[in-house]
Structure 1
């Protein structure tokens, strides 16, 4: 009888041990599968977001030169600028870490917006002095001024806002997935607890 009870106890302990190992294995398998889903989602959002727009501006460029403090020579030109503009985020450049123990996905870096301006410059009403002609340096200066003015317009436009909204939409997909799997999504040192908090973190 005593041997029977001892045998039964050993069998029970063995069964518990086997169950523990199986449960541990299943848990590790689940965590690996969760990590795989998250990595796959990061891969899916790792694409190029491009928002396009068109801008135009008119610039009056003037340049005055004085020779020997007596002679003055002036030049002036009206410049019409039309530009196709792209605001893009290359989400392949997102940097992240995954901690399976704490079930945390941390986004450490989000790429900055890349603004591409392709201006078409047309010149009108050219006025120049005998000793003050337009040259390559003037054209470079005009192009630089045009791009600076366009960049200011772009920064104040809905084009940048729209591209940010598309970025936020992609990041929200990561939040939805991590939240559904019981994981925590963080941006740098800040935990994201809702889709709204992503917008607050990303939007300046």
Structure 2
């Protein structure tokens, strides 16, 4: 009888301990998943690099009559001061968290968006009654001046700086996965995250 009692007490104690540790392990796992998910959600929603640019654009147009012996010209000097922002909207980052396999899948990354806020001013505006500036002319001048700003942006490091800042945000996911022993899986089929890994391996 005593042996049976000891066995019964042992079994009850074993079951209580197993239930306690299993409950504790489940709690830790839920806490770990909560930390991972919240950390991803709390990344900066918008990563931006900005700069100010200035361009001068000269516009000329001529209308000639009577075998080009008479010419009516219109001219304008246009200055463009523009604030340019290059950014990544991280709310468009598509991420899946597999808590059972301890994997973070990155399905889609946002493309860089360029926003130009121009301030266009006209100087030395010359026109004649037979060749005056129309609304369409002014719209075209605005478009060309903004296009010149875009070309200037391509020659600067603004896009590279925005990409670097995006890498800094993405690195938080990789650092977090390393802490908890998770794996980050790139499902984007793009060179973007490959470039990120190469940059970080060189550090």
The alignment partner of 1:45 has SS state of coil
Quote the residue 2:138 is aligned against: 139
Q: Deviations over 1:66-121 (max 9, x none)?
A: 56876654323221111112223232332211101110112222222232211122
Report how far residue 54 of structure 1 moved: 0.6
Quote the residue 2:48 is aligned against: 50
In 1: Cα distance, 2:115 partner to 2:32 partner: 38
* Contact persistence 1:172–1:195 (CA under 8 A): no
Quote the residue 2:58 is aligned against: 60
Quote the residue 1:86 is aligned against: 85
C-alpha change, 1:49 and 1:13, in structure 2 (3 Å) is: same
Q: Does 1:197 align with 2:197?
A: yes
Q: Report the TM-score, using the length of structure 1 for normalisation.
A: 0.78
Q: Does 1:41 align with 2:43?
A: no
Number of corresponding residues: 196
RMSD: 3.1
In 2: Cα distance, 1:68 partner to 1:17 partner: 107
In 1: Cα distance, 2:65 partner to 2:97 partner: 68
Report how far residue 11 of structure 1 moved: 5.6
* Contact persistence 2:53–2:84 (CA under 8 A): yes
C-alpha change, 1:5 and 1:69, in structure 2 (3 Å) is: farther
* Contact persistence 1:78–1:125 (CA under 8 A): yes
In 1: Cα distance, 2:111 partner to 2:188 partner: 19
Q: Where does structure 2 lack aligned partners over 5 or more consecutive residues?
A: none
C-alpha change, 1:39 and 1:46, in structure 2 (3 Å) is: farther
In 2: Cα distance, 1:66 partner to 1:94 partner: 56
In 2: Cα distance, 1:8 partner to 1:194 partner: 61
Q: Report the TM-score, using the length of structure 2 for normalisation.
A: 0.79
Report how far residue 8 of structure 1 moved: 5.3
